Copies of this chain bind each other. A is one copy, B any other.
Amino acid sequence: MKICKVEKTLVSTNRIRDLGHRPLLVVQEKAGGPRTVAVDAVGCVPGDWVIVVGSSAAREAAGDKSYPSDATIVGIIDYWEEQ
């Protein structure tokens, strides 16, 4: 799993129905690095350091085996110092 920082919510009105209304968050592995998108399964806020699961596990972690996610936030890290 990757360690990422939550930056903000991503607004995407035109999306496939399977994505539903789950919040999509922009996350970064490190400041200045590439931004990617993760589905929130724990309820986090911008600034949180979180654990992001990828691969096929991201689907089940999103709560449903057929959910189309390849990156799902599965936990908030209690304390993390940026590197």
On whether the beta carbons of A60 and B18 are closer than 8 Å, the reply is yes
Give bound CA distance, A56 to B60, whole Å: 11
Which interface class (under 10, 10 to 19, 20 to 34, 35 or more) fits A? Answer: 35 or more
* A55 (CB) vs chain B CBs: closest residue: B70
Known A-B contacts A57-B56, A59-B57, A70-B1; the reply to A37 vs B16 at CB < 8 A is no
Chain B nearest Cβ from A81, distance in angstroms: 11
Chain B nearest Cβ from A28, distance in angstroms: 11
On whether the beta carbons of B10 and A51 are closer than 8 Å, the reply is yes
Binding site for B on A (CB under 8 A): 1-3, 10-16, 18-19, 24, 26, 29-30, 34-38, 41-43, 51, 53-61, 66-72, 74-79, 83
